[in-house]
């Protein structure tokens, strides 16, 4: 057919799921697809008769669609890479499946949840523009943390799509993160730390917080401890649980051992440190926000996070005279003094020094608790 604005408007709608394509007489492969009452410009080309959508009629004009079709045909003729046709739902499923083996279960779950916030369904990736993404991201503006995390995951996804030639151009290349990250510097004072300690109950959350104070580990690592990770005098975190993917062993002080022993004696293999047959099971403790708010109300300490306890642990050890390499070993850091060529050749485990540091910190916390009791009396 001779394609004009008038002839396109005259094309009849299709009933139900029926589709019909009308090709232009003047440009091979260029045409209009009618699906229901929706009309879109399409381009069919190549030996395999690959068909791709240029844009919907009403959003893009006939003149612009024809120019775009000519541009694409010229690129394909010159041998430039043709983006593979992928819908949003197909591509996100492929992406999540591909990264699953290299992500912790909780991280993979977060990626899946955040990508599910964008409802593009069967829309092709090549039809999703920056404005579409920005519009959906803006809906999260009242939740800053969620807003930032969604942006990061979305950017990683489209980088992956671009690498696989699913899109000619990454629609996020000009988009800036919605929030500037500012590293926290909060360190609890001894007075604040002991107020938190004394406010911890004998429940699961209270035990987790006390172990965070005593060991300086991450909350996800402590919350997912299992009996097989706990030795007589050590904790050994497996590779799948640590942030850097390295097995991490650290010595236990008397106070930590007491908490862990009491948990096990009370049958905590079924509630705080459950025996698990798969690393893919969810975190054993889920009431973080509610429990943290309740603890804040009891202890009276303001503006602190559970991760601040890790920074407080490191700062406290340094104040007690423990060397930086030993502190980094306790924290399972691979940066700083353990980075680069030093990390390759320096294989000293520092375990005796770590044990001394843990005992020193244990004695410090014990002294703080005694001082608090004397003040209260």
CATH code for position 206? 1.10.443.10
Q: Long-range CB contacts (< 8 A, 24+ apart) of 305-308?
A: 305/184, 305/186, 306/209, 306/212, 306/219, 307/184, 307/218, 307/219, 308/184, 308/186, 308/187, 308/188
Q: Decide which of 48, 77, 106 is a domain's last residue.
A: 77
What's the pLDDT score for residue 71? 86
Using CA atoms, how far apart are residues 336 and 216, in angstroms rounded to an integer? 17
Find the domain containing 140 and state its range: 88-163
Residue 22 in this model has a pLDDT that exceeds 70: yes
Residue 356 in this model has a pLDDT that exceeds 90: yes
Q: Are 147 and 34 in a shared domain?
A: no
What's the pLDDT score for residue 344? 44
Structure tokens at 140: 């999260």
What's the pLDDT score for residue 373? 63
Q: Are 252 and 351 in a shared domain?
A: yes
Q: Are 67 and 101 in a shared domain?
A: no
What's the pLDDT score for residue 65? 93
Q: Are 321 and 195 in a shared domain?
A: yes
Is 144 within the bounds of a domain? Answer: yes
Read off the pLDDT band of 299 (50, 70, 90): very high
- pTM score, whole prediction: 0.58
Residue 5 in this model has a pLDDT that exceeds 70: yes
Residue 183 in this model has a pLDDT that exceeds 80: no
Read off the pLDDT band of 272 (50, 70, 90): low
- In this prediction, residues 333-354 reach a mean pLDDT of 63
Is 372 within the bounds of a domain? Answer: yes
Read off the pLDDT band of 267 (50, 70, 90): very low
Is 31 within the bounds of a domain? Answer: yes
CATH number at residue 19: 3.30.160.390
The more confidently predicted of residues 362 and 263 is 362
- In this prediction, residues 160-181 reach a mean pLDDT of 86
Is 299 within the bounds of a domain? Answer: yes
DSSP letter assigned to residue 170: -
Q: Are 365 and 230 in a shared domain?
A: yes
Is 173 within the bounds of a domain? Answer: no
DSSP letter assigned to residue 336: G
- In this prediction, residues 50-68 reach a mean pLDDT of 90
Residue 171 in this model has a pLDDT that exceeds 80: yes
Is 171 within the bounds of a domain? Answer: no
Residue 271 in this model has a pLDDT that exceeds 70: no
Using CA atoms, how far apart are residues 92 and 231, in angstroms rounded to an integer? 41
Is 55 within the bounds of a domain? Answer: yes
Residue 227 in this model has a pLDDT that exceeds 60: yes
Q: Decide which of 37, 55, 77 is a domain's last residue.
A: 77
The more confidently predicted of residues 169 and 279 is 169
Using CA atoms, how far apart are residues 265 and 319, in angstroms rounded to an integer? 35
Q: Are 337 and 359 in a shared domain?
A: yes
Residue 342 in this model has a pLDDT that exceeds 50: no
Residue 30 in this model has a pLDDT that exceeds 80: yes
Average pLDDT, the chain: 85
- Pair 69, 40: CB distance under 8 Å: no
- In this prediction, residues 79-85 reach a mean pLDDT of 59
Residue 181 in this model has a pLDDT that exceeds 70: no
Give pLDDT tens digits for 106-161: 788 889 999 999 999 988 898 898 999 999 999 998 888 889 999 999 999 999 99
Is 66 within the bounds of a domain? Answer: yes
Q: Are 311 and 371 in a shared domain?
A: yes
The percent of residues in the chain predicted with pLDDT above 70, rounded, is 85
Read off the pLDDT band of 81 (50, 70, 90): low
Q: How many domains does the chain have?
A: 3
């Amino acid at each position: 057919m001779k394609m004009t604005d008038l002839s396109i408007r005259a094309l009849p709608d299709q009933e139900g799921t029926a589709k019909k394509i009308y090709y232009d007489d003047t440009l091979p492969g260029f045409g209009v697809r009618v699906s229901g009452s929706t009309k879109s410009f399409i381009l069919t080309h190549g030996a395999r008769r690959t068909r791709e959508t240029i844009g919907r009629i009403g959003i893009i004009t006939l003149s612009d669609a024809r120019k775009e079709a000519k541009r694409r045909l010229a690129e394909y003729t010159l041998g430039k890479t043709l983006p593979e046709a992928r819908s949003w739902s197909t591509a996100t499923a492929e992406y999540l499946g591909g990264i699953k083996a290299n992500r912790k279960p909780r991280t993979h779950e977060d990626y899946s949840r955040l990508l599910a916030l964008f409802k593009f369904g069967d829309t092709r990736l090549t039809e999703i523009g920056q404005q579409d993404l920005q519009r959906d991201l803006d809906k999260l503006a009242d939740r800053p943390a969620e807003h930032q995390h969604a942006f990061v995951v979305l950017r990683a996804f489209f980088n992956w799509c671009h690498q696989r030639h699913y899109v000619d151009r990454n629609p996020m290349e000009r988009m800036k993160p919605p929030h500037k990250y500012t590293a926290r510097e909060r360190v609890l004072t001894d007075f604040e730390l002991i107020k938190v300690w004394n406010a911890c109950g004998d429940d699961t959350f209270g035990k987790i917080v006390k172990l965070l104070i005593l060991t300086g580990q991450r909350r996800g690592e402590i919350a997912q401890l299992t009996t097989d990770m706990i030795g007589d005098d050590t904790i050994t975190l497996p590779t799948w649980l640590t942030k850097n993917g390295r097995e991490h062993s650290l010595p236990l002080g008397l106070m930590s051992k007491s908490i862990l022993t009491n948990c096990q004696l009370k049958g905590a293999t079924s509630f705080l440190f459950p025996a698990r047959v798969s690393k893919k099971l969810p975190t054993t403790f889920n009431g973080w926000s509610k429990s943290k708010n309740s603890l804040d109300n009891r202890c009276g300490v303001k503006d602190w996070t559970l991760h601040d306890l890790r920074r407080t642990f490191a700062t406290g050890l340094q104040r007690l005279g423990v060397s930086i390499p030993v502190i980094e070993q306790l924290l399972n850091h691979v940066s700083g003094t353990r980075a680069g060529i030093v990390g390759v050749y320096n294989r000293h485990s520092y375990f005796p020094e770590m044990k001394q540091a843990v005992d020193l910190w244990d004695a410090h916390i014990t002294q703080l608790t005694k001082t608090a009791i004397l003040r209260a009396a």
